[in-house]
A and B are shown apart, each in its own frame.
Chain A
Amino acid sequence: MSFLAPLFLFGALAVALPVVFHLIRRMTRERTTFSSLMFLLPTPPRLTRRSRLEHLLLLVLRCLVLGLLAFGFARPFLKGVVNTDPSAAAPRRTMVLVDTSASMRRANLWADARDQVASVLRNASPADEVAVSTFDRQVRPLVTFDQWQSAAAGGRAALVNGKLAATSPGWAATHLGDALITAAEALADTGGKTRAGPRKIVLITDLQAGSRLDQLQGYEWPQGVALSVQTVKARHPGNAGLQLVTGSDDAVPEAGAGVRVRVSNAADSQREQFTLGWGRADGRGMAGASVTVYVPPGQSRIVPVPAPATGVATDRIVLQGDDEDFDNTVFVVPPETARLRVLYLGRDSETDPRQPLYFLERGFQETRRQIVQVLVRPPDAPLPAADAQAAALVVVTDPLPETRAETLHDLVAAGHTLLFALESDAAAPTLARLCGLARLEVVEARPNNYALLAEIDFRHPLFTPFADPRFSDFTKIHFWKYRRLDAAAIPGARVVASFDSGAPALLEVPVGQGRVLVLTSGWQPDDSQLALSTKFVPLLYSMLDYAGAAAPAPEQYFVGDIVPLAAARGADKSALTIRAPDGSQLNLDARETNFSLTMTPGIYSVTSLQPPKRFAVNLDPAESRTAPLPVDELERLGAPIAHPTLTVTREVERKVRLENTEQESRQKLWRWFLVATLAVLVVETWLAGRTARRLTAQGEATP
């Protein structure tokens, strides 16, 4: 028999109490009044042999009660066969994840992290399997389980340390959630073994507040994978970061305006006063005037930095006054303005607010980074081929002559997109030609009151920007007139939106490599309220995007981002040469359209293009948030945090205790002890009562 709480057995020592009480002569509760106690001394209770002999049975019963109670509280159980050595069955698998994000570049963090890895390796027994990976935006295996096992037991630590020494923190952001999930999945994959040993992820990180954890939200951790977090702490807390503000895309740039940067100061920072200014392109200090900025800890300020002085090559803004300088530089490339052309074929006047062109021209407003030019050509006027080729989108609202329609059909078939607004049934032959059909039936539909867009395919690229429920309400747009056509009559036509009567409102008709978008109503006020609604401009731009017009390039990329170069390359399909900030030349294969080797912040330039295309790659602003995150945050997201001090023996002890508890709760022997205690108590009460009665009777008989 074993006990779950053997300490309670000490309670059995309480059996000494009734023995002592029985030895002590019972102190009477009877009171005798007496005139004066001045001649009396209190009599000490005396031990007598007589009383013990008299109530021996009572004494035994009382001792029994206490003993049974102590046994019951000790939770006895009959021990079965328990496998107490789980580690013998399967080796422990440990995945060490080392943070190599940009924030680890701070003073002592990387050295501390390497020390921690070394201590983890020291604690690993030869039977254990250990893998080491580094992570920032992505997880990079350093030493896999297979490499670990194939290495000699003595040389494993050296292997890992050697590889770690060759590694250093990069410049990328911390995607901690992704890394944890990747590691957990790797551990969860037991390789077909039925019984897996304890599996653990050892995370060595600075656990900065800028770590991305949102991936962990809703992630179901695999059973049996524990997470142990070992944080490294910066010797000097606090950090200020610099971030380029790129929100003002729509504003028309003012002449001579500079850029705006956000200076954010970490909550645990001790500095508040910083200076900013344009830095020289060669990295040697600041050029021109500097701006002083006061940022209290935990806050951020957006600071406009005036345009740099002419004559000095500047390409970055530098923050001074911060201890940690890994995030104190942002690289700035002046944004290029993209020019797009939209070809409009119609007889409209630009100034008539009852005509479609009026709204089209106002829909494409000039912005800082994109200028859309609407080329208006009367349908019967000659159309230069260059104009047609350069157009990102062709808009037709009027019936076209036969030849012109044929030309446009060829243009569309070559890969262009054409928007055809069907303003009258007279345009039916033109539409038929454009779609490559002999004829098309178009009927003028006159709804009783008005028609609404009833069914919209929000999965279509034209409407995906509206898919959010906040923007998906099209019921405010009333259509007074529309033209009914049979979508089934057009081969390959896809109805993107339809009216409440079921008639198609917007169709996509594929023609060759291009497509014709057919709007069966006009947007001018005579036909509908579409042009006056808030949906019109976004719809125009999504048509422009759908037509394949290059989206304006972002002002900056972050380290690790993929830079699309297809648009910049254009028709030129040769290999590209890209110069990295450190001066090295990288070649991009002719088949590749994306550049992904943005490993360090700085300005990259595609030198093989004329003029060279430059783009800035900056540090992810989240890396500047270096205040440590509480480990509870991981626990809150469901990560099974293991106590780092839990050693193997403790683990085994815990397991044994768990199994003992299980057995005990199954057997529940304490209940029987309790029942026995109650039974003995009943007997004891009866016996004691009888003895007391007998004594009283004796006392009365002999007063």
Chain B
Amino acid sequence: MSLATNHPPATASLIDPQALMNIRNLELRARVVVEGFWNGIHRSPYHGFSVEFTEYRQYTPGDDPRYLDWRVFARSDRYFIKKFEDETNLRCHLLTDQSRSMTYGSRGYTKADYAATLAATLAYFLHLQGDAMGLLTFDEQIRDYLPARHRLGHLRHLMLALERPAAGQATNLAAPLRRIVEIIRKRGLMVLLSDFLAPLERLEPDLTALTACGHEVIIFQVLDPAELAFHFDAAAMFQDVESGRTLFIDPAAARKEYLRKLTAHCARLHSTCQRLGITYHRLATDRPLELALFDFLRERMKHGRRVHRVGHYVGRRPG
């Protein structure tokens, strides 16, 4: 990852999410965001990654004979192991919540749309940077899993998976996280996109496990402005999109309690993230996506190159 910028894009040039969501093609949407984003930052990417030689080391039994430098052996009749500085690309996994609660939206598009666009934007952006992108969509169980790759058609697959409509009933964050811990052994970046409208008790141990694996975790909590403000005025039967349960609610009476509980919920999530070293962003769906991207990048910059490892790779990317 070699992106450097200090300037957030000017607000005037931001794209209204409403207008953005009118673009039907997800990839095009992502491209619009990224291009627009680049309008405001330095244009520095597109430098390819290289495998830089670092040193030779004497072979010791137990080393992988594949890494022997046969030329040196031919020349000197001694075994040397050739070591490279492997500037690995970012291995980023997008964990997208596609549960039914994400289908709620008060502004003409849903939270799922917003989250998908954000995921697509990040994927496109990172793809342009040459990073490996993986995707895991889930509701109460895992729906699609694409391993992190950087291939030509991979982005396309990723977009298709993201475009799949949300169908799940409930939000269960714990199961996908546990599955991620099992599947992805290599450390990387985990971007979790969800509304987190689920009990947090079970989430915490799984997030802990995720960070313990060495993954860097970024959480985007996507919430609709209606959910944040609860600005309904007429009393009505409120129906839960996930469970179908209906309650008669007079917003005027219920708003205060609702906001209190929501704030407490978010605060608890935030504090959990802080404790685990997880970056937490709360995104309202009326917020321009560039800002989210900017947040993301700023966070990346702040943490620097945490995924900097030394390995023995000859082949650069995991299969």
Q: What residues of chain A have their CB less than 8 Å away from a CB belonging to chain B? A: 25, 27-43, 45-46, 699
Contacts and interface: CB of A to CB of B under 8 A. Distances in A.
B237 A31 contact: yes
Nearest to A699: B234
A30 B241 CA distance: 15
Given A33-B104, A35-B195, A42 B236 contact: no
Complex A-B, nearest 6 residue pairs according to Cβ-Cβ distance, in ascending order: A35-B104, A39-B261, A43-B250, A36-B197, A35-B101, A32-B236
B194 to A, nearest CB: 12
B240 interface: yes
Contacts of B227: 34-35
B239 A43 contact: no
Given A28-B235, A37-B240, A45-B248, 12 more contacts: A31-B246, A32-B237, A36-B197, A36-B240, A36-B242, A38-B198, A39-B258, A39-B261, A40-B249, A41-B254, A43-B248, A43-B249
Contacts of A31: 236-239, 246
Given A25-B235, A43-B235, A34 B241 contact: yes
A29 B239 CA distance: 12
A27 B248 contact: yes
B243 to A, nearest CB: 8
B203 to A, nearest CB: 14
Interface string B131-171: 00000000000000000000000000000000000000000
A27 B241 CA distance: 21
Kindly state the interface size class of chain B when it binds its partner. 20 to 34
A30 to B, nearest CB: 4
B240 A34 contact: yes
B19 interface: no
A36 B257 CA distance: 14
A42 to B, nearest CB: 4
Interface in B221-271: 224, 227, 232, 234-243, 245-250, 253-254, 257-258, 261-262, 265
B248 A33 contact: no
Contacts of B239: 31-34
Contacts of A699: 234
A39 B195 CA distance: 14
B234 to A, nearest CB: 7
A620 to B, nearest CB: 86
Nearest to A43: B250
A40 B197 CA distance: 12
A35 B224 contact: yes
A34 B224 CA distance: 10
30 contacts: A27-B248, A29-B237, A31-B246, A32-B236, A32-B238, A33-B104, A33-B240, A34-B104, A34-B227, A34-B238, A35-B104, A35-B111, A35-B197, A35-B224, A35-B227, A35-B240, A36-B195, A36-B240, A37-B238, A37-B240, A37-B245, A38-B197, A39-B265, A40-B238, A40-B247, A40-B254, A43-B235, A43-B250, A43-B254, A699-B234
Interface of B: 101-102, 104, 111, 195, 197-199, 224, 227, 232, 234-243, 245-250, 253-254, 257-258, 261-262, 265
A442 to B, nearest CB: 120
Contact of B237 (A28, A36, A46): A28
A408 to B, nearest CB: 123
Contact of A39 (B101, B111, B237, B262): B262
A36 B230 CA distance: 12
A34 B257 CA distance: 16
B64 to A, nearest CB: 52
A28 to B, nearest CB: 5
Contacts of A39: 257-258, 261-262, 265
A699 B234 CA distance: 9
Given A40-B254, A45-B248, A35 B241 contact: yes
Contacts of B242: 35-36
Given A30-B236, A31-B237, A32-B236, A42 B248 contact: yes
A43 B246 contact: no
B149 to A, nearest CB: 33
Contacts of B102: 35
Nearest to A44: B248
A45 B235 CA distance: 10
Q: Which of B102, B236, B241 has the most CB of A within 10 A?
A: B236
Q: Which of B198, B249, B257 has the most CB of A within 10 A?
A: B249
A25 B232 CA distance: 18
Contacts of B241: 33-36
B234 A30 contact: yes
Nearest to A38: B197
Contacts of B254: 40-41, 43
Nearest to B244: A33
A29 B236 CA distance: 7
A41 B257 contact: yes
B47 to A, nearest CB: 43
Contacts of B111: 35
Nearest to A45: B248
Given A36-B101, A39-B262, A41-B257, A30 B237 contact: yes
B236 A28 contact: yes
Contacts of B237: 28-32
A357 B227 CA distance: 133
A543 to B, nearest CB: 107
B261 A43 contact: no
A32 B236 CA distance: 6
A35 B262 CA distance: 13
A366 to B, nearest CB: 108
Given A43-B253, A43-B254, A37 B235 contact: no
Given A25-B235, A36-B242, A42 B249 contact: yes
Contacts of A45: 248
B14 to A, nearest CB: 25
B217 to A, nearest CB: 23
A45 B249 CA distance: 9
A441 to B, nearest CB: 121
Q: Which of B102, B111, B246 has the most CB of A within 10 A?
A: B246
A430 B248 CA distance: 127
A31 B238 CA distance: 6
A33 B248 CA distance: 11
A331 B104 CA distance: 110
Nearest to B223: A35
A25 B235 CA distance: 10
B195 to A, nearest CB: 7
A46 B257 CA distance: 18
A538 to B, nearest CB: 99
Nearest to B199: A38
A40 B253 contact: no
Contacts of B247: 37, 40-43
A32 B239 CA distance: 6
Contacts of B236: 28, 30-32
A42 B247 CA distance: 5
A233 B250 CA distance: 76
Contacts of B262: 39
Q: Which of B235, B241, B253 has the most CB of A within 10 A?
A: B235
A27 B224 CA distance: 27
Contacts of B248: 27-28, 42-43, 45
A28 B248 CA distance: 8
A160 to B, nearest CB: 80
A28 B234 contact: yes
Contacts of A40: 238, 247, 249, 254, 257-258
Contacts of A25: 235
B264 to A, nearest CB: 9
A699 B235 CA distance: 12
A98 B132 CA distance: 119
Nearest to B170: A36
A534 B69 CA distance: 150
A35 B103 CA distance: 8
